[in-house]
Amino acid sequence: MSLLEVRGLEAFYGGSQALFGVDFAIAEGELVALMGRNGMGKTTTVRSITRMLRTTRGEIRFDGADLTVLPSFRAARLGIGLAPEGRRCFAGLTVSENLMASARPGPWTVETATALFPRLGERMGQTAATLSGGEQQMLAIARALMTNPRLLILDEATEGLAPVVRQEIWAAIARLKQGGQSILVIDKAFSELRAVADRCVILARGQSVWSGMPHQLTPEIETEMLGV
Ligand code: ATP
């Protein structure tokens, strides 16, 4: 059984439809890359899965449970941890407070999270507002891990970061994957995504239009569907 299964997902912002049929699944321990050009529906798919956006049709099953019928707080507690686009750390809270605010029992603790991102460990007393963009992204990922999620979702994992920091984030993602963490990741750095992904799913105009292993992603598909 898949950990996450999305079938025929449609989503609406008021009267305007943003998703028109998204299908994909994530197996336990798998890293799936959700790809597509700007505005194709990646973030809307994430909002639908996390139930921040509840005006959806179709199926979203997590560990067999139908998320669409659960209140959003219950859906969150089932074990989906999100590092959202734009990071959204608590700016006025310290690194330590940000981490503690999302802590739930499990192997991810302040110690293990700061072992993954040693830079955070050096800045525990600093407020999130004073961190660099890369450090804020590390904090956003660490916060999501502190919920001890069964599925980790990273929306725009490295957007706007310096190349050297991006590499640190990709290295951390690779380590998480090696540790067996199930991950859904969105990023515009397609070559790095391909290098780390088990499977890629491409969205175009609110629909999933291609899915396959990274090596099956040909230059023709990239040009046609990703505009690379
Ligand atoms: P990007 O890479 O630019 O973040 P995306 O693939 O994540 O793009 P979405 O943000 O999911 O795409 O947008 C999908 C569609 O939904 C777009 O047409 C967008 O304009 C629309 N949309 C997104 N957020 C809202 C909103 N809050 N209200 C109305 N429409 C929205």
Ligand 1 centre distance from Cα of residue 88 (Å): 18
Contact (Cβ atoms closer than 8 angstroms) between residue 76 and residue 50? yes
Q: Is the CB of 13 under 6 A from ligand 1?
A: yes
Question: Each residue of 84-94: b (16+ CB within 10 Å) or e?
Answer: bbebebeeeeb
What domains sit in the chain, N to C, each tagged with a CATH number? Answer: 4-92+147-226 (3.40.50.300)
Alpha carbon nearest to ligand 1 atom 25, residue: 13
Alpha carbon nearest to ligand 1 atom 23, residue: 44
Ligand 1 centre distance from Cα of residue 38 (Å): 8
The pTM score is 0.94
Token readout for 189 is 């750095």
Alpha carbon nearest to ligand 1 atom 22, residue: 18
Ligand 1 centre distance from Cα of residue 19 (Å): 9
In order along its 228 residues, the chain shows pLDDT tens digits of: 799 999 999 999 999 999 999 999 999 999 999 999 999 999 999 999 999 899 999 999 999 889 998 877 776 678 999 998 878 888 889 999 999 999 999 999 999 999 999 999 999 999 999 999 999 999 999 999 999 999 999 999 899 999 999 999 999 999 999 999 999 999 999 999 999 999 999 999 999 999 999 999 998 998 888 887
